[in-house]
Structure 1
Amino acid sequence: MAFVLDHVVEIDAPAALVWDVVTDLPRYGEWNPFVPECRSTLEPGDPIDMHVRLRGAKPRRQREWIVEHTPGSMLAYRMKPVPLGTLHSLRSHTVTALDAGRTRYASHFQLDGWLHPVVATLLGADLRRGFSGMTDGVKTRAEALRAG
């Protein structure tokens, strides 16, 4: 059974604005406690280079690969699979317009492979905190931009 983290929030801002927050990678350091630095073309097949903060330590470099980019609604990427099914991941951001200028933002992270229980044991609490913080950050940032 995979290690899965799903966070879903409703945001009082239009979907286009929420999408802009998710894909404005150079501004991540202004609002994102989990991934304070990020770069990518967002083109499928291209890398996404991040600095990820785990355990409150200095952010560490992480390179993953874009697997889907549907402008305005979906961005997904994954780590390069470790040989022999050892470890693989999928991360996605989904933005869905609701009524009255509101948006549903869904954050999904899945870690699988025979080594995932070890990684989940060692880093699970940090990953939970990080993805939750990022989801809260998307909401806070989008609502602040809408208000200001």
Structure 2
Amino acid sequence: MASTNTSPSTGLPPLASNGVFHASASIVIDAPRELVWEVLMDWRSYHEWNPFVRNQQLTDASKKPLPAHQQTPRAGAHLYIHPVNIPPSFDAPKIFPAGSAFEVITVLDTENYRCAWKNIDYPDWALGAERWQALVEVEEDGRKKTRYETIEVFSGILAHLVKIFVGTGLQAGFLAMAEGLKKRSEEKIRS
């Protein structure tokens, strides 16, 4: 597991591995950190604003969805992310089926507004993936805003294939999710 120390300029910790490649995004959102966190953690509404990750939910170890009253994110919980649209789109995939990922939540730090999960579909030597998301208060134009930061590091021998076949699409997806989070959060402030 990665260290949870952070540098003052980022909410992301130093990652345990540089990996084969990574996808990342960062965007400043004109909304309070608490509101952005609420949007980010409301997985059931992802289909309304997130063209990359259309849904994610907590499951048991066999990917069976947990009941609604057990859908509160927590460290140690299994997370099934599906559908994942590469390239990001609100439409159904046209050529290839939507992707998915099966994860375990490794960190849910509500005090510091960050979360992380690790892929468990494959052994780490084959394909490891560690995703972090963090919200940091920043001051811009004399006002408090929120910077959303995310990174996923891919490692293992299959990471080379992931990079070749969907690396560009993953990067586009991370940027699209960041832009969607910004739009959704800023719309909530105006409404």
What TM-score comes out, normalization by structure 1 length?
0.91
Give, as a single letter, the amino acid of the residue that structure 2 aligns with 1:46.
A
Q: What RMSD over aligned residues (CA atoms) do the two structures have, in Å?
A: 1.7
Correspondence for 2:106 among 59, 62, 67: 67
8 A contact 2:24–2:171 mirrored in 1: no
> Distance between the aligned counterparts of 2:148 and 2:124, measured in 1?
34
Give 1:89 shift.
Answer: 0.3
Q: Partner letter of residue 26 of structure 2?
A: V
SS at 2:152's partner residue?
strand
2 CA distance for matches of 1:140 and 1:92?
21
More strand by share: 1
**TM alignment of 1:4-83, pairs within 5 A:** 4-40=22-58, 41-51=72-82, 52-55=84-87, 57=93, 58-71=97-110, 73-80=113-120, 82-83=122-123
| Residue correspondences, number | 148
Q: Are residue 93 (structure 1) and residue 133 (structure 2) matched? A: yes
Cα distance change on mapping 1:118 and 1:60 into 2, 3 Å: closer
For residue 84 of structure 1, report the CA deviation from its aligned partner: 6.5
Unaligned runs of 5+ in 1: none
Q: Work out the percentage of aligned pairs sharing the same amino acid.
A: 28
Partner in structure 2 of residue 109 of structure 1: 152
Residues 81 and 89, structure 1, Cα contact 8 Å, conserved in 2: no
1:141 matched to 2:184? The reply is yes
TM-score (norm 2): 0.72
Where structure 2 has 5 or more consecutive residues not aligned to the other structure, the ranges are: 1-18, 59-71
Residues 4-43 of structure 1: CA distance to partner in whole angstroms, max 9, x if unpaired?
1221111100000110111011100100001111113321
Indicate the SS of the match to 1:98.
Answer: strand
Q: 2:124, 2:155 within 8 Å by CA — same for their partners in 1?
A: no
